[in-house]
Amino acid sequence: MTYLERVRHPADLIRMDPHELDVLAKEIREFLVSSVSRTGGHLGPNLGVVELTIALHRVFESPADRIVFDTGHQSYVHKLLTGRRDFSELRKRGGLSGYPSRAESDHDIVENSHASTSLSWADGIARANQLRGIDRSVVAVVGDGALTGGMAWEALNNIAEGQDRSLVIVVNDNGRSYAPTIGGLARHLDALRTLQGYERMLDWGRRTLQRSGPPGRLAFEALHGMKKGIKDVVAPQGMFEDLGIKYIGPVDGHDLEATETALARAKGFGGPVIVHAITEKGRGYTPAEEDIVDRFHSVGAIHPETGLPVAPSRFGWTAVFAEEIVEIGRRRSDVVGLTAAMLAPVGLAPFAEEFPDRVIDVGIAEQHAVTSAAGMAYAGLHPVIALYSTFLNRAFDQLLMDVALHRAGVTFVLDRAGLTGDDGASHNGMWDMALLRIVPGLRLAAPRDEQTLRAELNEAVAVEDGPTVVRYPKGALPDDLPALAQQGGIDILARRGGVPRVLVVGVGAMAHTAVEVGQGLDAQGIGSTVVDPRWVLPVPDELVRLAEQHDLVVTVEDGLASGGIGSALRDALGRAGVQVPVRCHGIPHAFLDHASRAQLVEAFALRGQDIARESAAAVSALDDGAPVPERQPEA
């Protein structure tokens, strides 16, 4: 039996001696590389927190002591130490989540994988413990990248008030989130890392000089004075202790004894404490240690020996954006790119290489990015903000009140829109269209293939009197889907059967499914027109006119069925006095468990064959004089 197999509960760690713990750490890294290389997942972050997580579970008594992981993509080691060793279906339906999950274990607290939230969670739990008379510790494990988020600093400001609340903040400082951490905080932490190296030199000097007698001790005192001068410049007291939060560190997060000692000191303090642990992302796995572009933050199936993908990725949506925005940048010097700590994942890295002065990485600070973009637009630039769709949720107020209210020409490019699947509830980009529908003056495009993405991105940056949005899904591109014709800005994709009775509206990447719906209706003798509006918000007038010419409208989208584009079209028809029933096919109004996109599409009856069958039944109901029931997909 391996040491890892002996750990069924964190208490099992207490019985291990230092040598056994070192072997355990090695076994955990071997397990992670072996398992994640088969399933995919967040490899680099977890390799970097092995010793830190072991130390946490030796010092604190989870789940009585609450351990909150910020973002949670570094929780695989925590899962292993709390008895979850079956990683064979990691991030697959029925298997372990890639993030903490309350359904899996009482040791898991926060399921939301959006960054910079852990300090607020921990503050809330600590306050509740105090009010209820519960004497237990609360621990927040937060990366240096997440500390670039404004919400983290709002929390720190309040945590500092609670001098009698046991709250330990562990800063897992690896200098990276998805990419190297940027900003003033990053420079300050760099200085502290430098100071740590100086203190090591000082320790060596002390041992050497003290052996040489009184003159040596005088030299040591001089060195100590130099150390004090350096601390006056970069001391952590200037950032944390002046807030009233005790600071311990920096500590080597891979030195298990040192890390455990620091955490034990913090636990014993009884008030808010920051433990600054320096770690190395990808520790112990050579391909990850040597990687300079952070390919191992999250991986698909890879060859464990080399770290190379098992199957090379097909040319994807993000790559098309990356190419086209560079072409736009060459033509227009006013176009600038903004990203929130995800330069490479959202496709802005090539733009940054060619135009380094025209890309701004704000860190994990979406709210700041959006309002800053409003200021840039006011001052004569055209900002392009590239985000994962799910992260736009965090900056909705800024989009509404700073960009839209001021009619600022800002373009939002939303990657991973719709069903992303494997990462679960907080990463599905399913909220964007329903949210953005309520923003006055906003225009939203949903491209269906490579050519429409290029065209609609160019159309978006040409708009200067309000916000524009271009949204597309995760992964590989579908085959091109050329239009038969264009009518009032609407792409006609197919006309099937005799008299067109059903207007099938495909939104973005679901346009291919809409064509399949038309084929299925044709097989049942029902004529249809299949269209792609291209720009779906506001609802085009021509789409209303087309709907009036049909007996039934069927919309297909990878956003919320309730309140999404189909609902917007139904409302537009009502305002125009057009009495045509609309059936909306989309994602249910619920949080979704992790599963593949294909599994979710099947579960929600979003395949072409499913929609064609339901649509044919609706046409039959119309022929029988019965009302067409509204469709509400079930979770």
Secondary structure letter of residue 439 according to DSSP: S
The response to whether 158 counts as a known ligand-binding position is no
**Higher-confidence residue: 299 or 394?**
394
Query: Contact at 8 Å (CB) between 635 and 590?
Result: yes
Asked, for residue 274, whether it belongs to a domain, the answer is yes
Q: Distance between CA atoms of 180 and 294, rounded to whole angstroms?
A: 9
347 lies in the same domain as 217: no
Domain membership of residue 576 as a residue range: 485-623
Asked, for residue 303, whether it belongs to a domain, the answer is no
155 lies in the same domain as 49: yes
User: Which secondary-structure segment (H or E) carries 502?
Assistant: strand 500-506
Asked, for residue 297, whether it belongs to a domain, the answer is no
Sheet holding 485-487, edge to edge: 485-487, 490-496, 527-532, 500-506, 552-560, 582-587
Q: What does the pLDDT read at residue 207?
A: 52
Name, in order, each residue with C-beta under 8 angstroms of 172's C-beta and a sequence gap of 6 or more. 48, 49, 52, 74, 141, 142, 143, 144, 253, 277, 279
Q: Distance between CA atoms of 43 and 467, rounded to whole angstroms?
A: 37
pLDDT at 609 over 80: yes
462 lies in the same domain as 406: yes
453 lies in the same domain as 500: no
421 lies in the same domain as 546: no
Sequence-distant contacts of 600-604: CB under 8 A, at least 24 apart: 600/419, 600/421, 601/419, 604/633
Give the pLDDT mean for 60-84. Answer: 93
Query: Contact at 8 Å (CB) between 116 and 70?
Result: yes
Examine the fold and report which residue of 423, 443, 471 is the final residue of a domain before the chain moves on: 471
Q: What does the pLDDT read at residue 304?
A: 84
pLDDT at 511 over 60: yes
529-566 pLDDT, tens digit each: 999 999 999 999 999 999 999 999 999 999 999 999 99
Catalytic residue among 51, 260, 324, 366: 366
The response to whether 115 counts as a known ligand-binding position is yes
Token pair 């599994």 is found at 599
Asked, for residue 13, whether it belongs to a domain, the answer is yes
Q: Distance between CA atoms of 606 and 585, rounded to whole angstroms?
A: 7
**Higher-confidence residue: 488 or 309?**
488
Q: Decide if 281 is catalytic.
A: yes
546 lies in the same domain as 569: yes
The response to whether 144 counts as a known ligand-binding position is yes
Asked, for residue 497, whether it belongs to a domain, the answer is yes
Q: What does the pLDDT read at residue 229?
A: 42
Tell me how long the chain is: 635
Q: Distance between CA atoms of 609 and 116, rounded to whole angstroms?
A: 42
113-141 pLDDT, tens digit each: 788 889 999 999 999 999 999 999 999 99
pLDDT at 202 over 80: no
Q: Decide if 366 is catalytic.
A: yes
Strand 443-445, strand 246-252: pairing: unpaired
Going by C-alpha positions, the residue among 69, 97, 78 that lies closest to residue 422 is 97
The response to whether 113 counts as a known ligand-binding position is yes
270 lies in the same domain as 238: yes
The response to whether 559 counts as a known ligand-binding position is no
pLDDT at 605 over 90: yes
562 lies in the same domain as 604: yes
Query: Contact at 8 Å (CB) between 593 and 504?
Result: no
Asked, for residue 163, whether it belongs to a domain, the answer is yes
The number of distinct structural domains making up the chain is: 3
238-261 pLDDT, tens digit each: 567 777 789 998 899 999 999 999
87 lies in the same domain as 140: yes
Query: Contact at 8 Å (CB) between 561 and 589?
Result: yes
**Over pLDDT 70: what percentage of the chain?**
88
Q: What does the pLDDT read at residue 421?
A: 75
The response to whether 285 counts as a known ligand-binding position is yes
**3-state SS, one letter per residue, for 149-208:** CHHHHHHHHHHCCCCCCCEEEEEEECCECCCECCCHHHHHHHHHHHHHHHHHHHHHHHHH
Give the pLDDT mean for 229-235. Answer: 41
Q: Distance between CA atoms of 489 and 535, rounded to whole angstroms?
A: 8
Asked, for residue 517, whether it belongs to a domain, the answer is yes
419 lies in the same domain as 496: no
Rounded mean pLDDT of the chain?
A: 88
**Over pLDDT 90: what percentage of the chain?**
67
pLDDT at 212 over 80: no
Catalytic residue among 66, 246, 281, 295: 281
Give the pLDDT mean for 497-502. Answer: 91
Going by C-alpha positions, the residue among 317, 319, 298 that lies closest to residue 307 is 298
What tokens does 127 get? 């306050």
pLDDT at 469 over 80: yes
**pTM for this model (two decimals):** 0.86
Q: What does the pLDDT read at residue 426?
A: 77
530 lies in the same domain as 413: no
pLDDT at 322 over 90: yes
Q: Distance between CA atoms of 532 and 476, rounded to whole angstroms?
A: 20
Q: What does the pLDDT read at residue 181?
A: 52
pLDDT at 28 over 90: yes
pLDDT grade for 234, boundaries at 50, 70 and 90: very low
332-379 pLDDT, tens digit each: 999 999 999 889 999 999 999 999 999 999 988 999 999 999 999 999
Q: What's the N-to-C CA distance of the chain in angstroms?
A: 42
Q: Can you point out the beta strands (E) in 7-97?
A: 66-69
Q: Distance between CA atoms of 47 and 41, rounded to whole angstroms?
A: 12
Examine the fold and report which residue of 441, 471, 501 is the final residue of a domain before the chain moves on: 471
Query: Contact at 8 Å (CB) between 425 and 593?
Result: yes
532 lies in the same domain as 605: yes
Asked, for residue 305, whether it belongs to a domain, the answer is no
What CATH number does the domain containing 152 carry? 3.40.50.970
Q: What does the pLDDT read at residue 231?
A: 41
Q: What does the pLDDT read at residue 355?
A: 97
